[in-house]
Amino acid sequence: MLHVVRSPPIRPPASRLERYSDVFEVEIDLRGKSAASGRSPRSSMRTTKRSITGWIDVDGRIAEDAVREDFKGMLAAFERANKKKN
């Protein structure tokens, strides 16, 4: 008999940018490592806000490298905070 263990679905990141606002909000649900031990995974919601003004170049276009680097920094901060909490 084959026993299949499925982990609960992970919620995708949520983001919000209100009309006429330069503040971009990201919410990420990080899962703890307890799922590997057979216990249900711990969920850890983290939210951060950033101004998007640094993501726009002098020609008014999105500077993809700036967005990518900012998101890497946000994710690293989320992960550090999650390790401290767990």
The residues spanned by each domain of the chain are 14-85
Cβ–Cβ contacts within 10 Å for residue 53, how many? 8
Sign of CA dihedral 13, 68, 21, 59: negative
pLDDT digits (tens, 9 = 90+) for 15-70: 888 999 999 898 877 665 554 555 555 567 778 888 989 888 889 999 999 888 88
**26 close to 11: Cβ distance less than 8 angstroms:** no
Q: pTM for the complete prediction?
A: 0.57
Whole-angstrom Cα distance, residue 81 to residue 68? 20
The pLDDT of residue 82 is above 60: yes
Kindly give, in sequence order, each residue whose CB lies less than 8 Å from that of residue 51, ignoring residues fewer than 6 positions away.
22, 23, 24
